[in-house]
Amino acid sequence: MDPRRRYRSPVRNRYLDILRAAAIVRVVVYHLFGWPWLSLVFPAMGVMFAVAGSLTAASLQKRSAGRVVTSRLRRLLPPLWLLGAIAVPAMIATGWTLERGGTHPYDQWKLIFWILPLDDPPGSELAIDAWETLWYIRAYLWFVLLSPMLWAAWRTLGGAAWLLVAAPVVAIAAIDRSGFELPGSLDTVMWDLVTFGACWIAGFAHRDGLLAKLRPRTLLTAVVVLGGAALYWQSGHPGDEHPWDLNDVPESQALWSLAFVLVVLRWQPDVTGLARFRPLSRAVEVLNSRAVTVYLWHNLAIAAIWPLLTWLAVDDLGHFEKPVTLVAAVLLTVVAVVAFGWAEDLAAKRPARLWPPAGREPEEPDLPVAGRAPDTVRIPRHRAPSSLPVRFTGSDGKGH
C-alpha cells in the first residue's frame, strides 16, 4: 500500500473538520488574550468533546470495544509522552524536587500520570504552561475508557437514549444540591465528566442519527431552556476572574455547551465551497492532522512570546500588541508543530513527516470527526487543515 494513502479517508465530513479546527483556534486565542466572551460565543471544549464522542461512536459501530479503546490510546498518548520526555527532565533540572507546596509538589510515583493520565500529569510551578492544559487529555482518556459502556447503554435504551444525554446534567444538579464530593483529585475527574459528559453523549446522538430525527421545534425549545438556565445560573454564580466567563462555572459551562452543541451538530451547512479557498482549506487540514500537537504545545508557545520579543527588543508594541502577539503565537505554534508533530504520525502508524502532506488528512484524528452523508465530501485518492498573557482558569484551577 502506498504509505501516503494512510493520510486520507475515503469520506470526510468537512463541516466537522472545520468545527474541530475552529475549536482549536478558539482555545489558543482564549489562552493568549483571556477574552471571557469567547466562552459564550464558542464553547470550544464542549464542541471538542461532542465531536470526539461522535468519532468514538463511529468506531464502536465498526469495531470491538477493545480495539477502539486501544486505537484511541495509541493515537493520544505518544504525543503526550514526547512532551513529558522533554518537560519532566527540564522541570527536575530547574528545581522541581526542591519546591514546597504548590499545585503539584514533586512526588516520584505520580510521574506515572505522564504515561497514563488517569489523573493530571504533575509539574512544577515554574513550568505551569507545560501541564496546566493537560486536564483535557485526562478527561478525554476517561471518556474513551467509559465509552464502550456508554455506547452499550445508548444502544440498549433505543428511543429513550436521550435520558443518557440528560444524565450528566441531572448529576450536576444532584451534586450541587447534596454537596457530594469524592476524595482528592477524583473530585476533579468527576466534575469534568459531568460537565462535558452530555456533550460527549450528544456526539453519540449525532453519529446514530437520532439528533437529525429530532423535530426542530423540540430541539430549539430544549436549546432555549438549556441556554436560559445557563445564563440564569451564571448571573447568580459569577466567575472568579470575570462574571460572565463560563469556564469558571462548570454548571453554566455544561448547560451552555450542550445547547450550543445540539445546534451546531443538528444543522450542518454545505461547506464544499471551502475547497475554493485553498489557504483556508489547507489550514483546516493541518489543524486536523496536528490537533493533539497544537493543543499540547500552544501554551508553551504563548509563554515564549514575550521573552522572545524582549530578546528581539521589540516588546514596546503599543496599539500593535494584540496583532503582533497573535502572529507570534501562530508562528511559535507552527515551530512546535514542525518540531514535534511527527509523533502523531508515528502514533497513527504513518510515515513521520515534519509537515502533513496536502490533501492527506489522518484517517481517524483523535479530536472528533464523523457525520452524515449529506454533509460529506469525497476526497480523491490522489489529490495533491495586557503585556503578559492573562491566565484564566476554571473552577478546578485549569485553563479552558
pLDDT, one tens digit per residue, over 357-379 is 876 544 444 333 333 333 333 33
Residues 6+ apart with CB under 8 A from 184: none
- Confidence at residue 184, expressed as pLDDT on a 0 to 100 scale: 87
Per cent of the chain over pLDDT 90 is 68
Among 70-74, 128-132, 347-351, 396-400, where is mean pLDDT lowest? 396-400
The span from the first CA to the last CA of the chain, in angstroms, equals: 41
Among 61-70, 281-290, 309-318, where is mean pLDDT lowest? 309-318
Among 35-44, 274-283, 345-354, 370-379, where is mean pLDDT lowest? 370-379
- For residue 397, what pLDDT band results from cuts at 50, 70 and 90? very low
> How many domains does the chain divide into?
1
DSSP for 255-312? Answer: HHHHHHHHHHHHS----GGGGGSHHHHHHHHHHHHTHHHHHHHHHHHHHTHHHHHHHT
Q: State the average pLDDT for the chain.
A: 85
Overall average pLDDT of the 88-102 stretch: 90
Rounded-to-10 torsion of CA 26, 31, 34, 36: 40
pLDDT tens-digit series, residues 188-227: 999 999 999 999 999 999 998 899 999 999 999 999 999 9
| Gyration radius of the chain's alpha carbons | 21
- Smallest Cα–Cα separation from 366: which of 254, 288, 308, 294? 288
pLDDT tens-digit series, residues 8-24: 433 457 888 899 999 99
Helix/strand/coil percent split, the chain, to 5: 70, 0, 30
Q: What is the domain extent for residue 35? A: 1-400
pTM score, whole prediction: 0.85
Among 58-72, 157-171, 274-288, where is mean pLDDT lowest? 274-288
